[in-house]
Structure 1
Amino acid sequence: MHSVIVLDFGSQYTQLIARRIREIGIYSEIVPYNTPAEKIREHNPGAIILSGGPNSVYGEGSLHPDEAIFTLGVPMLGICYGLQVIATHFGGRVDVSPKQEFGRAKILVNRHDGAAASMLFKDVPDSDVWMSHGDKVVDMPEGFRVTASSSNSEMCAIEASGSKAALKVYGLQFHPEVQHSLYGKQLLQNFLIDIAGLTPDWSPKSFIEHQIEEIREAAGEGTVICGISGGVDSTVAAVLVSKAIGERLHCVFVDNGLLRKDEGKKVMEFLKPLGLRITLVDAEDIFLKRLKSVASPEKKRKIIGRTFIHVFEEQIHEEKFLVQGTLYPDVIESVSVKGPSETIKSHHNVGGLPKRMKLKLIEPLRELFKDEVRAVGRELGIPEEILMRHPFPGPGLAVRVLGSLTRERLDILRNADEIFIEELKKTGLYQQVWQAFSVLLPVQSVGVMGDKRTYENVLALRAVESSDGMTADWAHLPHEFLSTVSNRIINEVRGINRVAYDISSKPPATIEWE
């Protein structure tokens, strides 16, 4: 099976490129921009895509691929910075643009007798695209031609032509992978299927088959331990690994005292039918002891990560591998895993293993978004009740109780959050939002209850709409619904006298508050 190799030059959109490719039904892999050509050849690539990135190709510290990739004879598409890399390699010139171009722009497609002059633009009209650049191609490389332009980028799309046409090298100044590029998916499809000749045969089923082979190869005859939380990610990861190695997988459910109301009991009940071998560990005391008086969200995450590993070490017997349900949004926000992308925040399950740890990682979902994980879960036969649960952060309520943690504050949040989720389900709104939760703020406010002055906690409600967690908009929940939830929380949860609703989107905010 041919794959598409995406060279990552540090764009925040790199994984979106791979995502769009998979949506077309073609398997893709992301590798660092400087991966040697021989290493790329081992992947049997049917096409190579060069991502965007924050650098300037002419600047100090600019990023360039192994030049031998241009001799592999594989169709190539450069996006934004990738276009500029291609233009520079073939003798063109890139310079700072007199006018930066960020956001929507309209492209004009070059045509011949009414049809697009380039196969890349088949069935693509003049339309809006998404730009994000401060540099542009100012001198065309020899043997290339312009196939589309914008008001600010005369060479908005270029391709090898004439004697170089056989190279099948193309470049776009805009980002076809972003939804705001109206015909972006069509462009990618034209490149991958019509130009590169690839067959769309990748699916959740083929992903599972591929991962089972990889898991078996990685684990060999060894035994594997998995931290399972009852969330979508860890459950799908556990079932997938179980399909590969069976009883050699040992799942551990750690009740760290930072879970939702009655979560431990509920999780053990709905995981039972999946046939997994699970050990329940009550570790609430040790987690809360180590988190006492800690207010910094980053310190909380690190402590929870270390403590989680500590608890795991006590459960390890002959296991050699650790399964984690890490997803790509976790990775891209935490570490520059494939290339020089910007770090936003750390995640407890990303890069958190200490050097003394003898377990090797198995992360079968590391390249997937949440909706893709759910599709894989359906293929594995996991019930919808589990698959459609809202995302829950690895550090749990520790990052939803802002400031210092106490059992009392955790219980206040649990009780309030239970009401919020209960009302969402009762009104049929639960499945209409991507994620919903409550946040206990580290501030108190004055209130009046029963003719008495109160000075108690403020609770924030958060609900967002999203498709992959990379971007999100706040959910426009009905006012009557919010009024009902607010009244119930204030009346039924002792310790809260004010409820607010978070109406910020991602970006600029993140979905979680910490």
Structure 2
Amino acid sequence: MKRETVIVLDFGGQYNQLIARRVRECNVYCEIYSYKTEFEKIKALQPKGIIFTGGPNSCYEAGAPSYTKEIFELGVPVLGICYGSQLMMHLLGGRVEKAPVREYGKIEVTVDQKSKLFGGVSEKTICWMSHNDYISQLAPGFMASAHTADCPYAAMECEEKRLYATQFHPEVLHTKEGQKMLSNFVYGICGCKGDWKMDSFVEQSIQAIREKVGKGKVLCALSGGVDSSVAAVMLSKAVGSQLTCVFVDHGLLRKNEGDEVEAVFGPEGEYDLNFIRVNAQERFYEKLKGVEEPEQKRKIIGEEFIRVFEEEAKKIGAVDYLVQGTIYPDVVESGLGGESTVIKSHHNVGGLPEYVDFKEIIEPLRDLFKDEVRKAGLELGIPEYLVFRQPFPGPGLGIRIIGEVTAEKVAMVQDADAIWREEIAKAGWDQKVNQYFAALTNMRSVGVMGDERTYDYAIALRAVTTTDFMTAESADIPWEIIGRTTSRIVNEVKNVNRVLYDCTGKPPATVEFE
């Protein structure tokens, strides 16, 4: 699909996906590429604008991430953020040095309201700073457009060449008017029209799938989660009876979830998806026996999924395409987009085996963030209770059980998780937090129950608030809810004598445990 695009050139910044999301919130499509991407490829993409991300390095040190100066001669607007602003100055003849005063956190910034970047922004505004270096001398042709008490060049620009830079991070929520600044960049400076709309995306995707598949047969990997459900309904609208949806119950689902998925998508449900349920619990447990390393667990689960689908495809006969609910964060976190290291291999991306016995894998949601997937679901007419369902990872409880996975451990975490979700919902907190679950730690500790010594496992409770699942904060759940849940878990779940609450945000943690 040809659409206007802004490119995020990633220099190792932790907010690369956040920048892309903020641009998309302006209804402008945005993709992330590594700074190692060849210049000719970037040029061929014909971007409307380019954004340099932050990064942990000092641009003046040997071996620091850099890029060719030719990018500034493309005639395409460039916005440098933090490290990106320093690199821009460094490459174009300015000077970057170690800052005499490190700025970190919310800082009051005075902006030049005549700048196109700061149109409609308050003269004094709060921005998020995070830097050890600073720009001590501007590159020729640039002028300062913002400053702080300690930073003379908090923003700078060369309007003639449409080059802009900010020492602060406009993409984070802590920057009060950051979204306005990014909107000014993509609309006022890049000249974007804003053609990234979910209704047109859904319509164009259905048409593109129909043309690709032709008269071929399609197998969809349906987990019952939001992503695969939206993908399945989209494919159903595109190719109808040519689609078969296979739901693999790998024994790592939440309590009673296999039956719940079948009730919605099976023969008695509201969708005609040629639904097949495969009960493969023992098969997955056997493959995971003795395995403790998280990445290895993910890859085993990912490969076994594919092998089950291949077997089902042979039963159906001559299946050409496999459909998966892969989304954009899966791609980036699996190390396949931007400059990020592998955070975790998602079973449907980095966890795929080298050989897959299908003509092609179709991933209709691969370009979307989670909130965009939900919008697509609503456009497809999927009920809200399904669209806003609790997120659940493809590897399931396999990555909510630290260490080896066994049927006994699965039962423990299923029961504890069911209690936690029940208490959260009963207290009305299911509308206030975005994701909540219980995980089984690999820690065993001494306890006392009924005047007897116990040596049992600890359950960890998790609840987070987030807008995009790329950053998250631990939810401030009232103590009485945690206390009530704790009491129930240690009394109702066998082999558990301790309950912990995870107070860590993302970063430094991830939402999931493994």
User: What TM-score comes out, normalization by structure 1 length?
Assistant: 0.90
The structural deviation recorded for 1:78 is 1.8
Q: Which moved more, 1:288-297 or 1:169-178?
A: 288-297
d(CA) in 1 for partners of 2:423 and 2:322?
Answer: 37
- 1:113: which partner in 2? none
Q: Is 1:350 aligned with 2:349?
A: yes
Counterpart of 1:329 in structure 2: which amino acid?
Answer: P
1:247 equivalent among 217, 235, 241: 241
**1:123–1:244 CA distance, 2 compared to 1 (3 A):** same
d(CA) in 2 for partners of 1:129 and 1:46?
Answer: 26
Deviations 1:304-343 (A, max 9, x none): 12222222221234233332222333333331x2332233
**1:269–1:362 CA distance, 2 compared to 1 (3 A):** same
- 1:61: which partner in 2? 63
The structural deviation recorded for 1:47 is 2.2
Q: Which moved more, 1:237-246 or 1:136-145?
A: 237-246
d(CA) in 2 for partners of 1:3 and 1:453?
Answer: 63
- 2:32: which partner in 1? 30
**1:225–1:147 CA distance, 2 compared to 1 (3 A):** same
- 1:106: which partner in 2? 108
CA contact (8 A) 1:274 1:382 kept: no
- 1:133: which partner in 2? 131
The structural deviation recorded for 1:231 is 0.7
**1:367–1:102 CA distance, 2 compared to 1 (3 A):** farther
Q: Which moved more, 1:265-274 or 1:177-186?
A: 265-274
Instruction: Provide the aligned length of Structure 1 versus Structure 2.
Output: 504
- 1:268: which partner in 2? 262
d(CA) in 2 for partners of 1:30 and 1:38?
Answer: 16
1:90 equivalent among 81, 89, 92: 92
Counting only pairs closer than 5 Å after superposition, residues 47-446 of structure 1 correspond to structure 2 as 47-110=49-112, 116-125=113-122, 126-161=124-159, 165=160, 167-216=161-210, 219=213, 222-271=216-265, 272-317=269-314, 318-335=318-335, 337-359=336-358, 360-446=360-446
CA contact (8 A) 1:459 1:500 kept: yes
d(CA) in 2 for partners of 1:383 and 1:400?
Answer: 28
d(CA) in 1 for partners of 2:207 and 2:54?
Answer: 32
Deviations 1:279-300 (A, max 9, x none): 2111111111111222222322
CA contact (8 A) 1:176 1:188 kept: yes
d(CA) in 1 for partners of 2:34 and 2:501?
Answer: 41
The structural deviation recorded for 1:187 is 0.7
CA contact (8 A) 2:69 2:92 kept: no
d(CA) in 2 for partners of 1:259 and 1:169?
Answer: 50
Deviations 1:413-452 (A, max 9, x none): 2122222212222332222211111122333344444444
Q: Is 1:494 aligned with 2:488?
A: no
Deviations 1:182-220 (A, max 9, x none): 111111111222223322342221332343355456556
Counterpart of 2:246 in structure 1: which amino acid?
Answer: V
d(CA) in 1 for partners of 2:334 and 2:102?
Answer: 29
d(CA) in 1 for partners of 2:149 and 2:287?
Answer: 58
d(CA) in 1 for partners of 2:101 and 2:367?
Answer: 36
Q: Which moved more, 1:33-42 or 1:204-213?
A: 33-42
CA contact (8 A) 2:299 2:352 kept: no
Counterpart of 2:285 in structure 1: which amino acid?
Answer: L
The structural deviation recorded for 1:155 is 1.9
d(CA) in 1 for partners of 2:238 and 2:71?
Answer: 35
User: What TM-score comes out, normalization by structure 2 length?
Assistant: 0.90
Q: Which moved more, 1:307-316 or 1:243-252?
A: 243-252
The structural deviation recorded for 1:402 is 2.3
**1:244–1:9 CA distance, 2 compared to 1 (3 A):** farther
Counterpart of 2:95 in structure 1: which amino acid?
Answer: R
- 2:507: which partner in 1? 507
CA contact (8 A) 1:31 1:338 kept: yes
What's the secondary structure of 2:443's corresponding residue? strand
Q: Which moved more, 1:55-64 or 1:247-256?
A: 55-64
d(CA) in 1 for partners of 2:49 and 2:214?
Answer: 31
Counterpart of 2:303 in structure 1: which amino acid?
Answer: R
Q: Which moved more, 1:357-366 or 1:224-233?
A: 357-366
Sequence identity (%): 50
Can you give the 5+ residue segments of structure 2 that lack an aligned partner in the other structure? none
CA contact (8 A) 1:108 1:149 kept: yes
The structural deviation recorded for 1:480 is 2.2
Q: Which runs of 4+ in 1 moved over 6 A?
A: none
